[in-house]
Amino acid sequence: MVEVPKLAKDISELRYSALNHLWMHNRDWVKTGEDGGPDIVVDGNGIEVTDIEGKTWVDVNGGYSSVNSGYGRTEIANAARAQMEQMQYFPQGTTTAPLIKLAEKIASLSPGDLQRSWPVSGGSEANETALKIAKSYHKRLGDNGRYKIISRRGSYHGATGGVMWLGGGGSSRSDYEPAVPGMIYAPQPNQYRCEFNGRTDEECAIRCAEAVENLILFHGPDTVAAFIAEPVSASSLAAVPGDPYWPMVRDICDKYGILLIADEVITGFGRTGKMFALEHWEIVPDIMTVAKGITSSYLPLAATVSTSRISDVFAGEQNLFRQALTFGGHPVCAASALANIEIIESENLVNNSARTGLYLLNKLKELQENHPIVGDVRGLGLLLGLELVKNRDTKESFTPKSGMSKILNKEFRANGLILFATDKGVSLSPPLCIKRSEVDFIIDGIHKSLSTVEKELSIL
């Protein structure tokens, strides 16, 4: 067992090791050291985690929008242990019982005729697999010219060599140029900042969908392999597209023979109040990718789920889809996923996500009335976002120079919240087992934090 040190001296030694030997996310080790070293979490229960000094935090981010069933689920640990004691690992090609059961479960939960799962270990791998399947699918049908991929500005689909070039914008990936060839970027259907000045959700949705069709026509329909999008984009602060968007996108893809890939890595497994978010619009994609909530991050697992129309093209020895990942279909991860899905189902967490999500949304809207810094409040289920602005009339965003996100992040901390703000705003995605009383605690913390920021930056 990995012992958790208790003495201050040992804890500071541990922090020193972290600063010297770990490469952490979204921060560097010099500044982190100046700030007293990284937080080290050692315990978790429900929506709370405890750090090594014994301080308790409410995790409004839910890991990376991933710990759907919450912390402290011993059932998942039991399932993982039982499987690991019995059969630790075997490469896929032969297979193991929990993996088969998981694949069957995914097929039964997924909308429409999505039915065959390629299991992997993370959302990036799942999306890479989806792109590769899409490109190969067309080639196998002799439709050789299709390789371009349409994604949307402001979306995020992962960090590996292919998918890192999807979505995004700005300078976040200039370090890694050149980009993969064939990337096409469509607008994000974010009504609050509609690129086409659509005045209503519907109008923005229709224009953004039409823009997809125009891009296809401009680039040549026969050269486009796939369109990939999150049903609701967390990285665009949970902008929910107007109702016409998804049906229109589905029709456009069908019209031009383009595969529709739904990235349900965040939105899947109840996050938006349905098991999968595209169910809100009764749309069935050709390929769906899932990760995060499928195991609530208790272990790394993800999957690329295809309809049989797609996968049948790869049936038969000569038609093999050529890809292997060492840890793909890991039996221990599969067993954990099954235990996790059982919790989601038996505790009706999808319903709770819808109901408590609505409660949280309404509370945030109330906050907006008292906080001029809140430009927009939006989201679906327990995937919610706040856009923060300097001025509501002009909708002007904060720049890094304003220091807004720094102050806000400090305040969230002071109020016991694990909640990460950027200068654009805040995205909320707590575990789906959250209770109303916990929502009230979070709202209170956000209220106090926003008040301080508004005071410091004189936003009235």
Ligand X SMILES: Cc1ncc(COP(=O)(O)O)c(C=O)c1O
Residues at the contact surface with ligand X, assessed by CB under 6 A = 64, 122-124, 127, 156-159, 230, 234, 263, 265-266, 291, 325-327
Q: Which is nearer to other proteins, 315 or 414 (CB)?
A: 315
* 275: CB partners within 8 A, 6+ apart: 109, 268, 269, 350
**Angle (nearest 5°) at CA 423 between 371 and 442:** 50
- Which among ligand X, other proteins, none contacts residue 436 (Cβ within 5 to 8 A by kind)? none
427-446 residues near other proteins, rule: CB under 8 A: none
112-151 residues near other proteins, rule: CB under 8 A: 115-119, 121-125, 128, 131-132, 135-136, 139-140, 147
Determine whether 326 is exposed, middle or buried from the number of CB atoms within 10 Å of its CB (0-12, 13-18, 19+).
exposed
Q: Does 270 bind other proteins (CB under 8 A)?
A: no
Alpha-carbon gap, residue 106 to 28, rounded angstroms: 38
From 420, 111, 446, select the one nearest 275 (Cα to Cα).
Answer: 111
Look at strands 48-51 and 56-59 and give their pairing. antiparallel
Q: Which is nearer to other proteins, 125 or 387 (CB)?
A: 125
* 327: CB partners within 8 A, 6+ apart: 120, 121, 300, 333
Q: Which is nearer to other proteins, 208 or 291 (CB)?
A: 291
What's the closest the beta carbon of residue 393 comes to other proteins, in angstroms? 32
From 242, 451, 440, select the one nearest 359 (Cα to Cα).
Answer: 440
Q: Does 420 bind other proteins (CB under 8 A)?
A: yes
What are the C-alpha distances in Å from 130 to residues 86, 100, 287? 32, 20, 7
Looking at residue 153, its amino acid is R
Q: Does 273 bind other proteins (CB under 8 A)?
A: no
294-323 residues near other proteins, rule: CB under 8 A: 296-301, 304, 306, 311, 314-317, 319-323
- 320 DSSP 8-state letter: -
Q: Which stretch binds other proteins (CB under 8 A): 178-186, 232-240, 375-383, 451-459?
A: 178-186
Q: Which stretch binds other proteins (CB under 8 A): 33-41, 267-275, 349-357, 425-433?
A: 33-41
Q: Which is nearer to other proteins, 14 or 211 (CB)?
A: 14
- Which among ligand X, other proteins, none contacts residue 71 (Cβ within 5 to 8 A by kind)? other proteins
- Which among other proteins, ligand X, none contacts residue 157 (Cβ within 5 to 8 A by kind)? ligand X
What's the closest the beta carbon of residue 25 comes to other proteins, in angstroms? 5
Residue 98, both tokens: 């929990």
Report cis status (omega within 30 of 0) of the bond before 178: yes
What's the closest the beta carbon of residue 318 comes to ligand X, in angstroms? 24
From 152, 139, 409, select the one nearest 261 (Cα to Cα).
Answer: 152
Residue 291, both tokens: 């990760």
- The torsion of the CA quartet 403, 404, 405, 411, rounded to 10 degrees, works out to 110
- 59 DSSP 8-state letter: E
Q: Which is nearer to other proteins, 271 or 363 (CB)?
A: 271
Alpha-carbon gap, residue 247 to 260, rounded angstroms: 11
Q: Which is nearer to other proteins, 40 or 443 (CB)?
A: 40
Residue 162, both tokens: 């292919």
12-31 residues near other proteins, rule: CB under 8 A: 14, 17-18, 20-31
46-85 residues near other proteins, rule: CB under 8 A: 49, 51-52, 61, 63-64, 66-67, 71-74, 76-78, 80-81, 84-85
Q: Which is nearer to other proteins, 159 or 217 (CB)?
A: 159
Number of residues in the chain? 460
Alpha-carbon gap, residue 288 to 123, rounded angstroms: 11
Q: Which is nearer to other proteins, 119 or 244 (CB)?
A: 119
Looking at residue 10, its amino acid is D
Q: Does 5 bind other proteins (CB under 8 A)?
A: yes
Residue with tokens 């965040």: 266
What's the closest the beta carbon of residue 184 comes to other proteins, in angstroms? 14
What are the C-alpha distances in Å from 302 to residues 51, 87, 124, 217, 382? 28, 20, 9, 33, 20
Q: Does 351 bind other proteins (CB under 8 A)?
A: no
Q: Does 162 bind other proteins (CB under 8 A)?
A: yes
* 321: CB partners within 8 A, 6+ apart: 132, 133, 136, 314
What's the closest the beta carbon of residue 238 comes to other proteins, in angstroms? 17
Q: Which is nearer to ligand X, 65 or 449 (CB)?
A: 65
What's the closest the beta carbon of residue 368 comes to other proteins, in angstroms? 27
Q: Which is nearer to other proteins, 1 or 460 (CB)?
A: 1
What's the closest the beta carbon of residue 93 comes to ligand X, in angstroms? 13
Q: Which is nearer to ligand X, 263 or 454 (CB)?
A: 263
Using CB under 8 A, count the residues that bind other proteins: 130
SS3 117: strand
Q: Does 89 bind other proteins (CB under 8 A)?
A: yes
